[in-house]
Structure 1
Amino acid sequence: MGEAGFESRFVAASDGLKLHVRVYGQPRAGRLPLVCLAGLSRNAADFDVVARDISATRQVIAPDYRGRGLSDWDPDWQRYALPVELQDVLTVTAALGIERAVFLGTSRGGLLTMAMAAVRPTMLAGAILNDIGPVVEATGLVRIKDYLGKLPAPETMEAAVALLKTIGAGKFPGLAEADWRRQAEGMWTMRDGRLAAAFDPALAKTLEQVDLDAPLPTLWPQFDALAGVPVMVIRGEHSDILSAETVAAMAARRADLDVLDVPGQGHAPLLADARSIGRIAAFADRCDAA
């Protein structure tokens, strides 16, 4: 693994695009791998802290979706879509020889996890939904739509950190400087000698197509498709994507729902604190036993 703590691998998607995946640790007998799926414009770097910790006991896989991180950009922005990305995840897991896993999905990654339950239920041994549920709050989508692909390109990483603080300090009041720095390093990358967003700017077009004045569809059938496996939901105290009311409704449908509230964080919890990592590790252990 080297100093990076992970191995970078590249897998060809069904249409030939090169997909990047971080592989932390080795397969372990009796231990299901943990597959980490990031948010809309995010990438595998978001899971670095939790992945390093969890990989001491089980393998952790964190792919970059097409157009994000180190994966190829898609020349057709309309293929930045959940069905395509779900197929990419299945391609990656097949290439790595993973037949069954616990899935940890942040935001969009949680949507993919619920879709996995409907499309490939045998793949799913457990689901952790990080700040996402069957009801997505329009307020949060408006916020994301307003900034996605529209942030100025910072000249230095220090400027990137300052920009992130300006945007997010209200929702994440307790973050340490190292947390902000880690987030900035995952959001921006060096391209042609300058800092640039670590995703294809065309990704913003996918949200332009969403009519936020109309009621958003709910995903209760997709959530209910998780009935056969253990489920955990994580919610940031200041989340504007997943409401406390939705979590309560999820718990009403699933008496065994494992709920973790993360104080002092918004959308989406960073999963870098000892309490969150410990709960995720314990949940994965229960999935092994199940």
Structure 2
Amino acid sequence: MNAIVSGPADQIRDITYRSADGLLLAAREFVGPPHPAGAVLCLHGLTRNGRDFDETARRLSAEWRVIAPDQRGRGRSEYDPTPANYNPMTQTADMWTLLDTLGVDRVVIIGTSMGALMGVLMANQNPGRIAGLVLNDAGPEVDPKGLARIKAYVGNTTTYPDWDTATTALAGVHGPAYPTYSREDWERLARATFVPEGEGLRLDYDPALKAALAAASAPPDMWPLFEPLKSIPTLVLRGQLSDLLSEATADQMVARLGATLITVPDRGHAPDLSEPSVTPALDAFLAQPQLRQRLGDTDKT
């Protein structure tokens, strides 16, 4: 199965590929040095898309090969005619297809929310191919308050007449999670959230995600799924104001799994990875010898 790649070889390349069930899926690859330290796979949240990682991917591509896919039903990837396929099992299968198509053996995963849980699932499915995990505001216990908040806004089909209106609406929904955001920050987030449609702007995901979320059920105890992380370098990022990952659960992830925890001030669900406390922590995590050894890259430490 071959990927279709377009774009300059030394910058950003757009990739399309076919899933096992025939959907046309999309990703962006940020190509840096001729001999990168390794590959980083960036996995976005439930209603998000790969554009969330543009800033982080550009920064990391000075040393790493960075791949940022749009999960099925989001961004440039096709919508699934069967909404029940919007689930972590199907989506992780898509990620293995993407990695195999690109010839990538081992990766470090940076996952936000749903993307973090996908990373954990991939670590269960094939731990030898996961060199490290960054779990952005997600863990084995989900705070019901945050889940209820997400269910309340998923599936919104409102269209907005212009970017200013869309930006204001976005800030109205997510303002509590980003209390220090400037108008410029909100506009940047809006550009990664909405796409033009007709004479207006709509959210860049399949509204059928609402039905898929309503039908989904998490395992009664997700802690066993996190057991493989005991032997995989893991960084946990928690927004100080998060209503999805509690402080107690994050602390337990440190105690039970040996994870490293960074609490991000003035952020709810979820940090955008550009915060002053996140960038050095992420760089230090990616530079650690254990992670580089798992990549087979012991010379670049």
Smaller-chain TM-score bracket:
over 0.9
For residues 192 and 206 of structure 2, what CA distance do their matches in structure 1 show?
Answer: 14
Range moving further from structure 2, 151-160 or 228-237: 151-160
1:175 to partner: Cα distance: 1.2
Separation in 2, partners of 1:28, 1:282: 22
1:53 pairs with one of 59, 72, 76: 59
The corresponding residue for 1:111 is 117
CA RMSD in angstroms comes to 1.9
* Residue 233 of structure 2 is aligned to residue 227 of structure 1: no
| Matches for 1:173-212 after TM superposition, within 5 Å | 173-210=179-216
1:203 maps to a residue whose letter is L
**1:89 aligns to what SS in structure 2?**
helix
Assess if the C-alpha contact under 8 Å between 2:241 and 2:267 holds in 1.
yes
Partner of 1:98: 104
Which residue pairs with 2:15 in the alignment? 9
* Alignment map for 1:127-166 (pairs within 5 Å): 127-150=133-156, 152-166=158-172
Selected match of 1:266 from 244, 261, 268: 268
CA contact (8 A) 2:135 2:235 kept: yes
State whether structure 2 residue 89 is matched by structure 1 residue 83. Answer: yes
What does residue 256 of structure 2 align with? 253
* AA at the equivalent of 1:288: R
Distance 2:194 2:72 in 1: 16
Which structure is higher in RCO with an 8 Å CA cutoff and minimum separation 6? Answer: 1
2:299 corresponding residue in structure 1: none
Tell me which amino acid in the other structure corresponds to 2:261: V
Contact 1:65 1:71 (8 Å CA) reproduced: yes
1:238 aligns with 2:279: no
Q: TM-score, normalised by structure 1?
A: 0.93
For the residues of structure 1 that align with 2:215 and 2:149, how far apart are their CA atoms?
Answer: 15
Aligned pair partner of 1:68 in 74, 83, 93:
74
What are structure 2's unaligned runs of at least 5 residues? 1-6, 295-301
1:176: Cα distance to partner? 2.2
User: How far apart are 1:173 and its partner, in Å?
Assistant: 0.7
Which residue in the other structure is 2:292 paired with? 288
- Please tell me whether residue 22 in structure 1 is matched to residue 28 in structure 2: yes
Question: CA–CA distance in 1 between the matches of 2:113 and 2:151?
Answer: 14
Fraction of identical pairs, as percent: 35
Question: Would you identify which runs of 4 or more consecutive aligned residues in structure 1 move more than 4 Å?
Answer: none
Deviations 1:71-127 (A, max 9, x none): 000111111111110000001111111100100110000111110111111210000
Deviation at 1:5, TM superposition (A): 5.3
Structure 1: where are the runs of 5+ without partners?
none
* Cα distance in 1, alignment partners of residues 124 and 236 from structure 2: 18
Secondary structure at 1:169 match in 2? helix
Q: 1:30 to 1:155 in 2, by over 3 A?
A: closer
Deviation, 1:254, is 2.8
Give the drift of 1:258. Answer: 1.3
TM-score normalised by structure 2 residue count: 0.90
Q: Count residues with an aligned counterpart.
A: 285
Match of 2:3 in 1: none
Counterpart of 1:217? 220
Structure 1 counterpart of 2:298: none
Indicate the larger mover: 45-54 or 269-278. 269-278
Alpha-carbon contact 2:42-2:50 (below 8 Å) kept: yes
Partner AA of 2:262 in structure 1: L
For 1:39, which of 41, 45, 53 is the aligned residue? 45
